[in-house]
Homo-oligomer: A and B are copies of this chain.
Amino acid sequence: MGWYLREMTQDMPHLRPKPKSAPDARPYHHGDLRAALLAAAEDELAERGMEGFSLRSVAKRAGVSHAAPAHHFGDAKGLLTALAAEGFRQFLAAQAAREAVAEPDPASQLVAAGLGYIDFALARPTLFRLLWQSERPDFSDPDLGQAARAAYTHLVDQVTGAGGRNTADEAAVWAIAHGLADLLAAGRMMSVGSLPAEARDAMLVTIIRRALPD
């Protein structure tokens, strides 16, 4: 670490041209450190879990010093806040992916959204927990608030589109999708989680349909 500093001080800079695109060159300015840190943080969460998350380890993973994240995110809470906002967008994208291949009728679309909800939790369990259970992100942050509100709005729209009329309709669909997602992501509901993908999806569809309005 810090080899570039040695190189700068010990060598004579004017004797060699700047290796602008050398394969192993690490410039002082990263270029897009903010995005790299977010990606590294997501990897860190996936590998070491919510409790083992370390800001210094994220910085090392991105190949920068331990204090580099501060300038882009302030502190660890800031980094996790930005990651949560990005996570909510991926969360909505997972639902949209399921809706795109589902029947166009409102009930099928609502069930597809639920399957996407669960897909995301199974694919990124720790990120899912960051969105729904963690206290580390700053949920008063405007960007995160907007992303979270978009996810909630999408749910309400789907429920009302499928004939939902009151808060009980919304809450029932939301709770059953969220409960399945959380229990499956935590590996607690093995009676469903140990099924092969197709059988599991079929089982989830029948369960979700119970909570539908009508």
When chains A and B are docked, how far (Å) is the Cα of A191 from the Cα of B51? 30
A186 near B: Cβ within 8 Å? yes
Q: Which of A136, A170, A175, A183 has the most chain B CB atoms closer than 10 A to its own CB? A: A175
Chain B nearest CB, measured from A185 CB (Å): 9
Asked whether B206 lies within 8 Å of A168 as measured between CB atoms, the reply is yes
Asked whether B136 lies within 8 Å of A51 as measured between CB atoms, the reply is yes
When chains A and B are docked, how far (Å) is the Cα of A179 from the Cα of B180? 7
Binding-face segment, A58-66, A88-96, A127-135: A127-135
Contacts of A186 in B (CB 8 A): 132-133
Residues 158-185 of A at the B interface (beta carbon under 8 Å): 167-168, 170-172, 174-180, 182-183
A68 near B: Cβ within 8 Å? no
Contacts of A211 in B (CB 8 A): 172, 176, 210-211
Contacts of A183 in B (CB 8 A): 132, 174-175, 178
Asked whether A174 lies within 8 Å of B179 as measured between CB atoms, the reply is yes
Interface residues on A, range: 20 to 34
Contacts of A207 in B (CB 8 A): 168, 171-172, 175
Q: Which listed residue (B49, B50, B175, B192) contacts A171, Cβ 8 A?
A: B192
A203 near B: Cβ within 8 Å? yes
User: Which applies to chain A's interface (DSSP): helix, strand, loop or mixed?
Assistant: helix
A188 near B: Cβ within 8 Å? yes
Q: Which listed residue (B172, B188, B203) contacts A176, Cβ 8 A?
A: B172
When chains A and B are docked, how far (Å) is the Cα of A167 from the Cα of B174? 20
Contacts of A206 in B (CB 8 A): 168
CB-nearest residue of chain B to A135: B49
CB-nearest residue of chain B to A211: B210
Residues 61-118 of A at the B interface (beta carbon under 8 Å): none
Chain B nearest CB, measured from A99 CB (Å): 20
| A133-171 near B? 1/0 per residue, CB < 8 Å | 111100000000000000000000000000000011011
Q: Which 4 A-B pairs have the closest CB atoms?
A: A179-B179, A175-B179, A178-B179, A175-B180
